[in-house]
C-alpha cells in the first residue's frame, strides 16, 4: 500500500530521495540581469555618477515576492531622499563655516567639531524616519547621509555628488522593479482546482520543501491559484511543515475523513463512524485486551481519547504529539454516544496482524475502511486505522469542488494511474507543472496558452 505520512509520525517519509544540486533560481538570474542593465544605463549617461550605487539599489529590490519588491523599493527611495536632504543641509552649513572654523580654532579643532556635527545630525536623520513612520528606511538614510558627509564633503563639487547619489539610487530602483516584475504574458487558469499530496510529492524525506517550491508556490497562492493539499495527515501534522505556505483553501486531511478550513480552524465536512459503530469497535478492542486512540471532533476541536497501557510506545507517542495546540489528548474512554472520526491502534506487528485478521473474520473489513501498515518511527510496530466506509480523498474532493464551484481538477501524487501528474523523486515537479498549467504563456489575446 502506497500511502503518505500517517497520523502520529510527522517528520518521516518512506521515500528515499536522491540528493540533487539545485539549479540557479530566477532570483539569481534576475540579479545578474539587473547588474548588466545598470552598466548599460551608466554607459548611456556617459559614466556620470557611480554605477555601484545603482547596482546596490537594484539588488535590494530583487526579492522573492512582488510585494516585497515594492516594499524594499519604497524603503530604499525614502532612505535615499532623507539621507540626501540632510547631506545637502550639512554641505551648506559646512561651506559657510569651514574657512572661519579653521582660522579660529585650527585644523584639529575643526575636525573634532565636524565629527560632532555629523554625529548630532545622525540623530536628526534617524528621528525623521520615526516622525514620518518610516523606521525601516533608517539604515539607508544613514548610509546615504554618511556617504555624502564623510567621503565626499571635500569634493570640488559635492552638490553634484548628492544629485548623482540620488539619481543612481532611483535608476537602480527602477531597474530592480522592472526586472523583478516584468514577465512573459501569461493567462491564469482560475477555473482549475489543483490538488497535491504531501509526502513523496511536495516534501522530501526530511519533511521539508525546497526553497524554489516554497517561493513559487507562495507567489502563485498570493496571485489566486486554486491550490490545496490532500493527505493522510491530521491538521496538526500537516501544519507543521506547511506553516510558511499561505494556503487559503480547505485541505483534505486524514485520508479523506475530513475537510479542514485552515483559516477558520474548523471542519467543514467529516465522514465519521456512527455512535453505534464506534461503541461496537471499542467493545471489540476491549475484549481483546487492546487499547486504541479514539479521534473525535468536538466543536471543531480534535480530541483524542486513550487509556494508559504497558506499551511504552503509547506513552512516547502521546508525550511527543500532545504539544500541538491542534491535538488534545484525554486519558479516559469517550462518552457512550461519541462518533469517532477514526480509531487508531499501534502495536507490535504480530499483534496488529492478529487484530486485523479478527476484523476480517467478522466482516468488518467490508463494513469499514481499514488501513494496516508498518510504522516508520517505531520499528517492529504497525498501525491499524478504522474509518467510515465513505471516507476517501476522492469523495472529499467532490465535496470541495461543490463548495468552491469548480469542475476542473489537476491532481498530483506518487501513485501511477491514480493521479493526473505522477511525482516521484523530484520534489520540485509539483510546482514546475503547477506553474505551467496555472499560468501558461500566451503571445496574444487570440492565441491559446502554450
Could you read off the pLDDT of 206-215 as tens digits, one per residue? Answer: 888 888 888 8
Pick 275 or 206 by higher pLDDT: 275
pLDDT for the residue 3: 39
Buried-exposed string 58-70: b where 16+ CB fall within 10 A, e elsewhere: bbbbbbbeeeebe
H/E segment holding residue 293:
strand 293-298
Has residue 232 got a pLDDT over 70? yes
Pick 47 or 317 by higher pLDDT: 317
Average pLDDT value for residue range 170-178:
89
pLDDT for the residue 105: 60
Min mean pLDDT across 28-37, 219-228, 282-291, 306-315 is at 28-37
Min mean pLDDT across 180-189, 250-259, 439-448 is at 439-448
Assign 145 to helix, strand or coil: helix
pLDDT for the residue 371: 95
Chain-centroid distance, C-alpha 409: 23
Has residue 441 got a pLDDT over 90? no
CA 23, 28, 34, 40 torsion-angle sign: negative
pLDDT for the residue 23: 65
Has residue 376 got a pLDDT over 90? no
Q: Which of 196, 195, 200, 234 is nearest to 2 (CA)?
A: 200
Helices and strands in the chain, H and E counts: 14, 13
CA distances from 276 to 271, 282, 339, 384 (A): 15, 10, 8, 20
pLDDT in tens, 322-366: 888 888 999 999 998 999 999 999 999 999 999 999 999 999 999
The model carries a pTM of 0.72
Q: What is the mean pLDDT of the chain?
A: 85
pLDDT for the residue 258: 96
> pLDDT category, 18, cuts 50, 70, 90?
very low
CA distances from 4 to 79, 126, 340, 356, 399 (A): 49, 53, 22, 21, 21
pLDDT for the residue 9: 42
Amino acid at each position: 500500500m502506497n500511502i503518505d505520512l500517517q497520523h502520529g509520525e510527522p517528520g518521516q517519509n518512506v521515500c528515499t530521495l536522491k540528493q540533487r544540486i539545485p539549479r540557479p533560481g530566477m532570483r539569481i538570474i534576475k540579479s545578474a540581469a539587473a547588474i548588466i542593465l545598470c552598466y548599460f544605463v551608466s554607459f548611456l549617461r556617459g559614466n556620470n555618477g557611480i554605477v555601484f550605487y545603482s547596482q546596490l539599489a537594484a539588488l535590494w529590490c530583487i526579492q522573492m515576492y512582488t510585494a516585497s519588491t515594492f516594499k524594499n523599493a519604497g524603503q530604499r527611495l525614502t532612505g535615499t531622499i532623507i539621507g540626501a536632504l540632510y547631506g545637502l543641509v550639512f554641505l551648506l552649513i559646512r561651506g559657510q563655516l569651514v574657512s572661519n572654523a579653521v582660522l579660529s580654532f585650527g585644523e584639529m579643532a575643526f575636525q573634532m567639531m565636524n565629527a560632532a556635527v555629523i554625529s548630532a545630525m545622525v540623530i536628526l536623520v534617524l528621528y525623521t524616519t520615526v516622525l514620518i513612520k518610516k523606521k525601516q528606511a533608517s539604515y539607508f538614510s544613514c548610509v546615504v547621509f554618511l556617504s555624502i558627509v564623510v567621503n565626499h564633503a571635500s569634493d570640488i563639487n559635492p552638490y553634484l555628488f548628492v544629485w548623482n547619489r540620488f539619481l543612481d539610487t532611483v535608476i537602480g530602483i527602477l531597474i530592480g522593479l522592472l526586472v523583478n516584475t516584468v514577465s512573459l504574458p501569461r493567462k491564469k487558469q482560475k477555473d482549475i482546482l489543483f490538488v497535491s499530496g504531501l509526502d513523496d510529492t511536495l516534501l522530501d524525506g526530511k519533511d521539508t520543501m525546497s526553497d524554489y517550491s516554497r517561493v513559487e508556490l507562495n507567489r502563485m497562492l498570493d496571485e489566486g491559484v486554486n491550490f490545496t493539499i490532500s493527505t493522510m495527515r491530521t491538521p496538526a501534522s500537516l501544519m507543521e511543515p506547511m506553516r510558511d505556505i499561505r494556503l487559503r483553501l480547505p485541505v483534505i486531511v486524514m485520508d479523506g475523513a475530513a475537510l479542514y478550513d485552515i483559516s477558520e480552524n474548523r471542519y467543514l465536512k467529516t465522514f465519521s463512524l456512527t455512535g453505534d459503530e464506534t461503541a461496537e469497535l471499542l467493545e471489540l478492542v476491549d475484549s481483546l485486551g487492546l487499547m486504541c486512540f479514539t479521534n473525535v471532533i468536538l466543536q471543531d476541536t480534535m480530541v483524542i481519547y486513550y487509556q494508559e497501557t504497558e506499551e511504552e510506545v503509547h506513552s512516547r507517542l502521546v508525550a511527543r504529539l500532545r504539544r500541538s495546540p491542534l491535538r488534545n489528548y484525554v486519558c479516559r474512554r469517550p462518552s457512550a454516544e461519541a462518533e469517532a472520526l477514526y480509531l487508531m491502534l499501534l502495536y507490535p506487528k504480530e499483534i496488529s496482524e492478529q487484530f486485523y485478521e479478527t476484523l476480517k473474520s467478522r466482516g468488518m473489513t467490508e463494513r469499514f475502511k481499514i488501513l494496516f501498515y508498518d510504522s516508520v518511527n517505531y520499528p517492529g510496530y504497525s498501525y491499524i486505522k478504522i474509518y467510515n466506509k465513505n471516507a476517501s480523498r476522492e469523495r472529499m474532493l467532490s465535496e470541495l469542488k461543490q463548495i468552491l464551484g469548480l469542475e476542473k481538477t489537476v491532481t498530483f501524487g506518487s501513485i501511477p494511474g491514480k493521479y493526473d501528474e505522477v511525482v516521484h523523486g523530484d520534489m520540485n515537479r509539483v510546482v514546475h507543472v503547477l506553474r505551467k498549467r496555472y499560468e501558461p504563456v500566451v503571445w496574444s489575446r487570440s492565441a491559446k496558452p502554450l
